């Protein structure tokens, strides 16, 4: 493993970066303390699992739109039966126009239902990922005291830990000082606001 952290030359905030470094012995304990805090509290992600299971708003919306589409289809069927008994085009014209309107409304409702189905599928997949993350946190937390250095690094990778190092006394375009280092944490699973955190030190 590297004994130093270096700046990321691709970071647009650090043009012409002289590649400053900072000792890993300085940052590692702080990074691990932050990660361990998340790992010891799987309730953070468990709460998110419970929240998603309780949120049935999308399912209610889908049920409502299914009912709406069924109602439109029923109207179309009844009007079509009436048209079958009418031979006069002038008399039939308003019913034909109504059928066209109903058809357009039904297509729009079906498109909305399809979009809802995609959102529900995405929600269910994300809920599964959150549950997996919660279980993973519990497993690792039970072994925190015996993890090797390499296992800790693996855990940090899974939590999406990134450390940015800035040159001593570096400032942005407005003269605001950059921190000496910056630590961000975002789990590999695409779950925003779950166990996400950031700490900075000057």
* Domain boundary assignment for the chain: 4-201
Q: Report pLDDT for 3.
A: 54
CA 109 to chain CA mean position, Å: 27
Distance CA 39, CA 161 (A): 13
More confident residue, 175 or 47: 175
Q: What is the mean pLDDT of the segment spanning 57-79? A: 91
CA distances from 59 to 49, 62, 67, 69, 125 (A): 17, 5, 12, 15, 15
Render pLDDT for 106-140 as a digit per residue (tens, 0 to 9).
Answer: 999 999 999 999 988 887 887 777 677 777 777 78
Q: Report pLDDT for 1.
A: 40
In which region does residue 85 sit, left (phi positive, over 0), alpha (psi from -120 to 50) or beta (all else)?
Answer: alpha
- By the 10 Å C-beta count (0-12 exposed, 13-18 middle, 19+ buried), 35 is classed as buried
Residue 188 pLDDT more than 60?
A: no
Confidence of residue 141 (pLDDT cuts 50, 70, 90): confident
Distance CA 82, CA 96 (A): 10
Residue 200 pLDDT more than 50?
A: no
Residue 9 pLDDT more than 50?
A: yes
Distance CA 120, CA 138 (A): 27
Mean pLDDT of the residues in the chain? 76
In terms of pTM, does the model score above 0.85? no
Please list the alpha-helical segments (H only) found in the chain: 24-39, 43-54, 57-84, 89-141, 149-158
| Residue for token pair 């647009």 | 12
Pick among 1.10.260, 1.10.287, 2.40.128, 3.30.70: CATH of 4-201: 1.10.287
Q: Report pLDDT for 79.
A: 93
CA distances from 184 to 21, 75, 198, 202 (A): 17, 56, 4, 15
Q: What is the mean pLDDT of the segment spanning 149-164? A: 80
Which residue in 30, 31, 48, 34 sits closest to 133, CA to CA?
48
Provide the token pair at 166. Answer: 């800035």
């Amino acid at each position: 493993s590297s004994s130093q952290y270096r700046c990321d030359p691709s970071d647009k905030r650090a043009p012409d970066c002289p590649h400053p470094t900072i000792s890993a012995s300085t940052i590692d304990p702080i990074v691990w303390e932050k990660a361990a805090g998340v790992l010891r509290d799987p309730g953070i992600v468990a709460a998110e699992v419970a929240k998603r299971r309780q949120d049935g708003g999308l399912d209610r919306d889908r049920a409502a739109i299914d009912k709406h589409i069924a109602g439109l289809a029923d109207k179309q069927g009844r009007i079509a039966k009436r048209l079958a008994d009418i031979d006069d085009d002038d008399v039939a014209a308003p019913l034909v126009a109504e059928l066209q309107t109903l058809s357009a409304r039904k297509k729009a409702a079906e498109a909305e239902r399809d979009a809802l189905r995609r959102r529900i599928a995405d929600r269910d997949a994300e809920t599964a990922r959150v549950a997996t993350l919660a279980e993973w946190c519990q497993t690792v937390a039970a072994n925190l005291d015996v993890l090797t250095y390499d296992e800790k690094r693996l855990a940090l990778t899974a939590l999406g830990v990134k450390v940015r190092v800035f040159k001593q006394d570096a400032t942005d375009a407005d003269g605001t000082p950059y921190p000496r280092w910056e630590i961000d944490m975002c789990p590999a699973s695409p779950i925003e606001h779950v166990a996400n955190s950031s700490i900075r030190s000057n």
